Amino acid sequence: MTAYTLAELAARFDLEVVGDGSTSIEGLCELLPGEPGKLGFMSGAAYRAGLATTRAAAVIVGKRDVAGLTTPGLVARDIGLAFARIAKLYDRSLDFQPGVHETAVVDTSAQLGEGVYIGPGSVVEAGVVIGEGSYIGPRCVLRRGASLGAGARLEAAVTIAEDVRIGARILVQPGAVIGSRGFGNVRLPDGSWESMPQLGTVVIGDDVEIGANTTIDRGALGNTVIENGVRLDNLIQIAHNCLIGANTAVAACTGIAGSAKIGKRCLIAGATAINGHVTICDDVVILGMGMVTASIDAPGIYGSGLPASPARDWRKSVARIRRLDKLIERVKHLEGLLNVKAQESADASEGNDH
């Protein structure tokens, strides 16, 4: 494994060295107990006491914790970002040797860029284009006319439907399905259904990550669009003709109905439900289990479902909510009585004036 000195890491990532810059770092570790030869990570103030007892060769800290170091260290303005960037130097999990496995099926018209790997049991249909340096893991299916940019990575059992267009450096976790037929149906008078063809596709930008078993439906006429830098967690459903703006992140188990438009840099917490045809502007945060039933046109933080509480308290809260309609009617009735009294007083006062 490649080792780097603290001085080399500091120079590469614009960090400050404390102590011996020649300290060799062979990998990364937790702060406690720590491991000799590795770089620890102090992820928050709660771990501050661990600086005195860690066995790590060095630790990444913020400016305020330099005095607590008992080992050499790296000082970062953003500890998490520094750790993430350094970790990539030691991550060998994405390494592969180019080539096409003997059990893969690749159409002769497919275009494979230089340095591509196609794994066991994968199928690459006619007209598919795969950019250089891409990794297609085992049992992936790329349907006719699909295209992937350079440096794409499909981990395993990923399906890319026909004519889907994907940019560079995408990372797709196992089981994801991109470009499946959207939920388009027309109800007939007898209660049965007529399927509506989905003639659009999915267009995904660069540097997007898509979680395991997430599904993105193709457009009905236009396209479903995922812009650059989007992060999608596991088990997300994105329906036909949605748009997800650049650098937005969506957490697991969220469902986004058809033609919803979500702006740039939004944070959508887990188990959120977003109605079809709504628009969410840029820089919006939706808290967990949020229900978005109408468009949001102002940046900010928007609430979620009822937080968990002891069952007895929760039942009381629900009971009060159920009584709101009756309470509103009572308030309206009382307001009516007050208005009548006020009018009677006004009339009496006017009579006295005369």
- Which tens digit of pLDDT belongs to each residue from 25-78? 999 999 999 999 999 988 778 888 899 999 999 999 999 999 999 999 999 999
Per-residue pLDDT at 354 exceeds 60: no
Per-residue pLDDT at 111 exceeds 60: yes
Q: Burial letters for 277-310: b for 16+ Cβ neighbours within 10 Å, e otherwise?
A: ebebbeebebbbbbebeeebeeeeeeebeeeeee
pLDDT score at 350: 67
Per-residue pLDDT at 347 exceeds 70: no
Structure tokens, 154:
């499909």
Burial of 227 per CB tally in 10 Å (0-12, 13-18, 19+): buried
pLDDT score at 317: 87
Alpha carbon distance 114, 124 (integer Å): 16
pLDDT score at 1: 63
Residues 137-187 have pLDDT tens digits of 999 999 999 999 999 999 999 999 999 999 999 999 999 999 999 888 999
Region 123-130: what's the mean pLDDT? Answer: 98
Alpha carbon distance 146, 128 (integer Å): 5
Show the DSSP H helices in the chain as ranges: 6-13, 79-90, 311-322, 324-353
pLDDT score at 337: 85
Query: Could you tell me the pTM of the whole model?
Result: 0.86
- The string of DSSP letters for 310-330 reads -HHHHHHHHHHHHTHHHHHHH
Show the DSSP H helices in 178-254 as ranges: none
Catalytic annotation present for 277 = no
pLDDT score at 17: 96
Per-residue pLDDT at 219 exceeds 90: yes
Q: Tell me the pairing of strands 185-187 and 193-195.
A: antiparallel
Write the CB contacts of 10 (distance below 8 Å, at least 6 apart in sequence).
16, 17, 21, 74
Of 238, 182, 240, 163, the C-alpha closest to 208 is 238
CA–CA–CA angle 299, 300, 305 (5° rounding) = 125
Strand-by-strand arrangement of the 202-204 sheet: 111-112, 129-130, 147-148, 165-166, 202-204, 224-226, 243-244, 261-262, 279-280
Alpha-carbon radius of gyration of the chain: 29
Percent of the chain with pLDDT over 70: 97
Strand-by-strand arrangement of the 16-18 sheet: 16-18, 73-75, 58-61, 38-41, 27-28
Alpha carbon distance 35, 56 (integer Å): 5
Q: Which helix (H) or strand (E) holds 225?
A: strand 224-226
Confidence label for 307 from pLDDT (cuts 50, 70 and 90): confident
Q: Among the options 240, 277, 333, 354, which is catalytic?
A: 240
pLDDT score at 182: 86
Ranking 89-93, 254-258, 293-297 by mean pLDDT, the lowest is 89-93
Region 293-309: what's the mean pLDDT? Answer: 90
With beta carbons less than 8 A apart as the criterion, state whether 63 and 42 touch: no
Confidence label for 259 from pLDDT (cuts 50, 70 and 90): very high
Give the mean pLDDT of the chain.
94
Question: In this structure, how many other beta carbons lie within 10 angstroms of the beta carbon of residue 195?
Answer: 10
